[in-house]
């Protein structure tokens, strides 16, 4: 039980950095949807989708490999850090150089001729993100979640500040609303026709500061290279690279190719880029589920490896899974039943609210993605990462095939359904093989009971639809309350006597 409490405590700190920081950054969504037309926001969505595809090539599983080998021989962690960091700096420098060299050609190929500067910025962003992966991992290995949280929080907050600077302050001056004496300067230098580029510039500046903030984690770093030592690590990490690429395909393919595969005129009065902008904005609402999963992942990876040799670890991992699913199901219910008010708050432009109906499917998809991540412990601790690669690659193939079939006939709703199907199949496959090679007594019936009840609650309460959004708000949150009370009584015997937020549970 103390292990689970420790995991929960670390998850809280990692979650605070992600959830509070991202909640602050999420305030940018109303800004983006107010400043950008759907087509302009489609540019942001599309380019970040491409960046997501490149990220695994820059990191190629080194983070997980670091945890695996550092936990095997903790006393050799400094040497391991030097070796892996040297390799990742070299490969990142080469890849950034390639992207800078071909930046203009890539821009023309993607129909962004004249906007090459953004591709140069994003190449550097990728390089910086790769270089800071291991320093962040070192903080997690050394169990320093508070410092991890503070740096992440500052990074996100500063990025928000820069977005406000470029897209509010500078734009208002350009339009003559503020500081009229500076307007001419802005008229000469502010790129009003391509405002979206300031989103990427903000990312570049804020991420570059991470190198400074993580400087102490490089204490004792000396460039090191040894083929004999790096070879087994690369063999362990290689499947993780393919798994990362396939995983990004599952998540990002629809946003990368929706503009191409969506027939002209599928959505009335919208171009394909407009539809991508709407889909990308609505996809953002699944961030609430993704943040919980991300916070859990930061804490869980070192937790899984450090407890893998414990004889009680299978039961421990099963309990972790059940608690994780209950939390994610609550998020699914709470967000799904409040989409109307969330849409009013975050999407000032009603054009973006047209896609809100896909959000519950995306939330459920990420719930299964979180389950899959929990299940992945079996191939990571048994060094059978090749299975993880094959499972994720098969999921990616399903994603590609079904998106190709469904986007032309169902639009971005088809993409949402495909995401759910893919993650469900990956979770089911991982469970099947995991029980064969590393048996964990997961409470499968209980997990699906919660998922089924939550789905029925959301569907049932959405059948009530008043013209008054306030009435809808109160009635639908009755469904949230029913779920919370039902969960309390179902789980009371497991949590009775514990103190939560200062209150003792009877």
| The pLDDT value given to residue 309 | 65
DSSP state, residue 285? G
- Lowest-confidence segment of 106-115, 249-258, 341-350 by average pLDDT: 249-258
Is the model's pLDDT at 375 over the cut of 70? yes
Q: What is the pLDDT of residue 497?
A: 41
Which of 117-126, 179-188, 305-314, 368-377 tops mean pLDDT? 117-126
Tokens coding 277 = 């902008």
Where in the sequence is the domain holding 81, given as residue range(s)? 2-495
- The whole-number pLDDT of residue 451 equals 93
- pLDDT of 323 strictly over 80: yes
* pLDDT value at 353 more than 50: yes
Is residue 500 assigned to a domain? no
Do the domain assignments include residue 393? yes
Question: Is there a domain that residue 241 lies in?
Answer: yes
pLDDT digits (tens, 9 = 90+) for 380-393: 777 777 888 788 88
| Closest-CA residue to 320 (of 335, 306, 333, 303) | 303
H runs (alpha helix) in 268-338: 272-283, 287-307, 313-336
- Binning pLDDT at 50, 70 and 90, where does residue 64 land? confident
Residue 46 has pLDDT above 60, yes or no: yes
Least confident of 60-69, 174-183, 283-292, 399-408: 283-292
pTM (whole model) above 0.75: no
- Highest mean pLDDT: which of 60-64, 263-267, 358-362? 358-362
Q: Is residue 501 in some structural domain?
A: no
Helix H or strand E segment including 504 = strand 503-504
Which has the higher per-residue pLDDT, 92 or 294?
92
Tell me the pLDDT band of 505, cut-offs 50, 70 and 90. very low
CA distance linking residue 267 with residue 236, whole number of Å: 46
What are 182-197's pLDDT values in tens digits?
888 888 888 888 888 9
Q: What is the pLDDT of residues 126-137, one digit of tens each?
A: 999 999 988 988
Using a pLDDT cut of 70, give the percent of the chain over it: 88
Phi-psi group of 87: left, alpha or beta (phi > 0 → left; psi -120 to 50 → alpha; rest → beta)? alpha
Least confident of 1-15, 240-254, 304-318, 455-469: 1-15
Residue 307 lies in a domain: yes
Place of tokens 């999921």: 395
* Residues 6+ positions from 25 with CB-CB distance below 8 Å: 156, 159, 160
In a domain, 503, yes or no: no
Q: Does 19 or 395 have the greater pLDDT score?
A: 395
What's the number of domains the chain is made of?
1
Instruction: Tell me how far apart the alpha carbons of residues 45 and 246 are, in angstroms, rounded to a whole number.
Output: 19
Residue 177: is its pLDDT beyond 80? yes
Q: Does some domain include residue 442?
A: yes
Tracing tokens 């896909």 back to the chain, one arrives at 358
Q: Is residue 505 included in any domain, yes or no?
A: no
Question: With bands split at pLDDT 50, 70 and 90, how would you rate the model's confidence at 42?
Answer: confident
Q: At 310, which helix (H) or strand (E)?
A: none
């Amino acid at each position: 039980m103390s292990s689970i409490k420790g995991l929960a405590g670390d998850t809280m700190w990692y979650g605070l950095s992600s959830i509070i920081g991202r909640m602050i950054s999420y305030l940018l969504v109303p800004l983006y949807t107010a400043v950008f037309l759907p087509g302009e926001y489609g540019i942001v969505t599309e380019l970040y989708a491409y960046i997501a595809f490149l990220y695994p090539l820059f990191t190629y599983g080194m983070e997980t490999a670091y945890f695996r080998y550092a936990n095997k021989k903790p006393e050799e962690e400094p040497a391991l850090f030097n070796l892996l960091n040297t390799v990742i700096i070299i490969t990142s420098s080469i890849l950034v150089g390639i992207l800078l060299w071909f930046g203009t050609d890539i821009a023309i190929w993607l129909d962004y001729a004249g906007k090459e500067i953004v591709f140069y910025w994003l190449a550097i962003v990728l390089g910086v993100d790769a270089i800071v992966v291991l320093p962040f991992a070192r903080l997690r290995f050394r169990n320093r979640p508070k410092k991890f949280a503070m740096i992440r929080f500052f990074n996100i907050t500063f990025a928000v500040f820069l977005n406000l600077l470029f897209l509010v302050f500078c734009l208002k001056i350009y339009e003559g609303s503020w500081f009229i004496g500076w307007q001419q300067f802005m008229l000469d230098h502010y790129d009003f026709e391509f405002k979206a580029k300031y989103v990427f510039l903000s990312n570049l500046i804020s991420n570059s500061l991470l190198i400074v903030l993580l400087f102490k984690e490089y204490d004792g770093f000396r460039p090191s290279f040894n083929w004999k030592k790096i070879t087994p690590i690369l063999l362990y990490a290689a499947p993780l690279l393919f798994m990362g690429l396939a995983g990004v395909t599952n998540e990002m393919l629809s946003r990368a190719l929706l503009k191409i595969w969506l027939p002209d005129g599928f959505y009335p009065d919208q171009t394909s880029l407009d539809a991508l902008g709407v889909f990308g904005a609505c996809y953002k609402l699944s961030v609430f589920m993704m943040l919980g999963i991300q916070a859990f992942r930061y804490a869980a990876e070192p937790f899984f490896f450090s407890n893998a040799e414990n004889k009680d670890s299978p039961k421990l991992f099963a309990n972790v899974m059940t608690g994780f699913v209950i939390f994610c199901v609550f998020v699914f219910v709470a967000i799904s039943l409040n989409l109307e008010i969330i849409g009013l708050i975050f999407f000032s432009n009603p054009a973006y609210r047209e896609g809100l109906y896909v959000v519950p499917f995306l939330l459920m998809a990420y719930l299964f993605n979180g389950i899959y991540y929990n299940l992945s412990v079996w191939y990571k601790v048994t060094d059978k990462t090749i299975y993880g690669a094959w499972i994720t690659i098969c999921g990616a193939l399903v994603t590609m095939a079904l998106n190709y079939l469904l986007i032309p006939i169902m639009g971005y709703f088809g993409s949402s359904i495909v995401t759910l199907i893919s993650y469900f199949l990956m979770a089911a496959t991982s469970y099947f093989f995991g029980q064969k090679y590393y048996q964990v007594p997961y409470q499968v019936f209980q997990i699906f009971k919660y998922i089924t009840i939550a789905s029925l609650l959301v569907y049932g309460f959405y059948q009530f639809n008043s013209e008054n959004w306030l009435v809808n708000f109160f009635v639908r949150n009755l469904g949230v309350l029913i779920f919370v009370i039902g969960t309390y009584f179902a789980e009371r015997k497991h949590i009775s006597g514990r103190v939560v937020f200062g209150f003792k549970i009877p």
